[in-house]
């Protein structure tokens, strides 16, 4: 044992330590686009939890563009200026409702506010005093929407679960028109921005109807089918396009084009509940070059910004609750989104009066242009490609480059006057319409019989096979039957000397005999039916 211990003491124990591998550097986040920076510039503010789901939001058309929110049996008025404070509270509230408030709409001067509820009542309030001035009752079921026309102070539009659209005289508290045509709840509507007499309504019967109060019999002038229950519908600023929301899609329709669908945006995962028009643009020397966008919100908690000029999504935002309503202020500085749990997600940008920036600022949100680049010189390759992606201005004259037509092989051969090669080429493609078209072209050039006489045995077999299959077809028989006779007369010796060609001729003979037999049968049937038809005509 004493001899073993020294050996144990001299032995060394080696340990291996694992070296931690170097982690790959994280990829840099992609830089935001100018438009994403614009929408992200809205300073987010959560308005305290209200009673229940925010069913409707509406901005006043007149400055300072206060907005109203409908929740449960009351509505609250907020000032956009208060959104900069940490504690946001309603500037005033109206609670003179007996049922859930469903829809809100300001008059074009911002002095009156119309609100509808599920009891079937529509009330018109003075915004300053919050006094109810008119009580409109005619709907026998809950009212789903109410809307003031964009160009009219005296009338009001409403629709509800009784499937009736009503056009009201507000001063007289009477219904001017009852518009029938929908077969289910009338959920939404909007008034034309260019005509005080036209408006649209959307229903759970999947249809959107265009109405004109000047049309007699109160019938809709146009109807489009969204394909799903329609949750919201809006006119786009031009007045010739509308956007409809239902299911998980937002669709754009061309009314001037007869109700043609222009595009369907299906980026939401759940039902789209509300849409509105937002604006984005640049200041140019005091003027504002604005571009319109469609803002959509849905039960999936997303707000999508859709550029319907380029037909693409330009921005997307996620919120922690299903979204029920959305609205955008006329001065493009405030956007509000109502959720199903009673929270209003408001966003406000700095005003242009508070920003000392140049002419490239985006509506008061600093400069969103990309970092300055070097001036392009003729020594740069990009110099010769500048301006190719620019959009034309309104007064520009467009010179369109004609698209090059891709010719088929037989067309190329015909252009080179290689008539026989063109015929052989098209016979090998087995497209009867192209074959007949080439034959007609050769007849017009008086070259068809010459091509037939120059065919070798294999090429002649292709021609006879084609004649066997299509000579008896009524649409081709006028040309092919005469050609068949000429081919047999001109190439009789070649046919006798080839067993393969004889087989093609036998097959051709059978098909012609079968066609003749069918024609005789049809003539016999015609002879039987004709006297019966004459007798029936006399009686």
- The string of DSSP codes covering 212-238 is ETTSGGG--SEEEE-SS-EEEEEE-TT
318 pLDDT band, cuts 50/70/90, is very high
Mean pLDDT of the chain: 83
Token couple for 533: 């038809």
Assess whether the region 39-348 and the region 409-537 belong to the same CATH fold: no
Q: Apex CA 310: angle with CA 381 and CA 290, to 5°?
A: 95
- CATH architecture, domain defined by 409-537: Alpha Horseshoe (1.25)
Residue in this structure with the two tokens 């497209």, named with its chain if needed: 431
- Does residue 352 register a pLDDT over 80? no
pLDDT tens digits, residue range 105-146? 999 999 999 999 999 999 999 999 999 999 999 999 999 999
Strand partners, 153: none
Mean pLDDT of 239-250: 92
Of 32-36, 223-227, 372-376, least confident by mean pLDDT is: 372-376
Of 8-22, 296-310, 359-373, 435-449, least confident by mean pLDDT is: 359-373
Domain ranges of the chain: 39-348, 409-537
pLDDT tens digits, residue range 471-485? 888 888 888 888 888
The whole-number pLDDT of residue 30 equals 58
pLDDT tens digits, residue range 167-193? 999 999 999 989 988 999 999 999 999
CB burial readout 211-223, b (16+ within 10 A) else e: bebeeeeeebebe
Judge residue 57's burial from the number of C-beta atoms within 10 Å of its C-beta, 0-12 exposed, 13-18 middle, 19 or more buried: buried
The highest-level CATH class for domain 39-348 is mainly beta
The whole-number pLDDT of residue 28 equals 55
Give the rounded percent of residues in the chain with a pLDDT score beyond 90. 35
- Does residue 287 register a pLDDT over 60? no
* pTM for the model: 0.59
Residue 161: phi, psi to the nearest 5? -75, -5
């Amino acid at each position: 044992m004493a001899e073993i211990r020294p050996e144990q003491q001299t032995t060394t124990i080696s340990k291996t330590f694992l070296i931690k591998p170097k982690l790959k550097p994280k990829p840099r986040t992609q830089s935001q686009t100018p438009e994403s920076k614009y929408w992200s510039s809205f300073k987010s503010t959560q308005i305290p939890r209200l009673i229940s789901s925010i069913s409707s939001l509406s901005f006043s058309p007149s400055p300072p563009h206060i907005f109203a929110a409908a929740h449960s049996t009351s509505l609250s008025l907020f000032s956009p200026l208060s959104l900069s404070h940490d504690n946001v509270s309603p500037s005033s509230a109206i609670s003179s409702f007996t049922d859930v408030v469903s829809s809100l709409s300001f008059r074009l001067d911002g002095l009156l506010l119309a609100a509808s509820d599920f009891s079937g009542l529509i009330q018109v309030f003075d915004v300053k005093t919050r006094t109810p001035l008119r009580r409109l009752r005619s709907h026998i079921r809950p009212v789903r929407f109410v809307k003031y026309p964009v160009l009219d102070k005296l009338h009001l539009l409403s629709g509800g679960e009784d499937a009736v659209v009503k056009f009201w005289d507000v001063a007289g508290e009477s219904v001017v028109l009852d518009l029938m045509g929908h077969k289910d709840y009338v959920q939404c509507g909007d008034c034309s921005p260019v005509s005080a007499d036209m408006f649209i309504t959307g229903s759970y019967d999947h249809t959107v109807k265009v109405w004109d109060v000047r049309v007699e019999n109160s019938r809709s002038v146009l109807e489009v089918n969204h394909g799903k229950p329609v949750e919201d519908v809006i006119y786009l600023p031009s007045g010739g396009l509308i956007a409809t929301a239902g299911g998980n899609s937002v669709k754009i329709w061309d009314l001037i084009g007869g109700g043609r669908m222009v595009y369907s945006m299906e980026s939401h995962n759940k039902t789209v509940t509300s849409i509105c028009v937002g604006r984005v643009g640049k200041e140019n020397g005091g003027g504002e070059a604005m571009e319109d966008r469609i803002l959509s919100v849905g039960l999936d908690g997303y707000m999508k910004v859709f550029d319907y000029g380029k037909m693409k999504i330009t921005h997307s935002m996620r919120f922690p609750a299903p979204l029920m309503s959305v609205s955008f202020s006329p001065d493009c500085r405030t956007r509000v989104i109502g959720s199903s749990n009673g929270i209003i997600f408001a966003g406000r940008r700095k005003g242009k009066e508070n920003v000392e920036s140049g002419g490239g600022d985006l509506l008061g949100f600093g400069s969103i242009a990309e970092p300055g680049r070097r001036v392009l010189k003729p020594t740069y390759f990009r110099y010769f490609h500048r301006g190719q992606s620019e959009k034309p201005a309104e007064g520009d004259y467009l010179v369109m480059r004609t698209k090059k037509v891709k010719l088929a092989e037989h067309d190329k051969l015909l252009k080179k006057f290689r008539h026989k090669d063109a015929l052989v080429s098209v016979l090998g493609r087995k497209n009867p319409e192209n074959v007949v078209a080439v034959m007609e072209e050769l007849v017009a050039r008086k070259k068809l019989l010459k091509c037939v006489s120059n065919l070798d045995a294999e090429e002649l077999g292709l021609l006879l096979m084609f004649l066997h299959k299509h000579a008896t077809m009524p649409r081709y028989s006028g040309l092919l039957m005469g050609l068949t006779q000429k081919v047999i007369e001109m190439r009789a010796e070649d046919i006798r000397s080839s067993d393969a060609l004889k087989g093609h001729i036998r097959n051709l003979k059978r098909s012609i005999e079968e066609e003749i037999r069918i024609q005789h049968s049809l003539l016999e049937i015609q002879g039987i039916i004709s006297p019966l038809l004459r007798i029936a005509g006399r009686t």
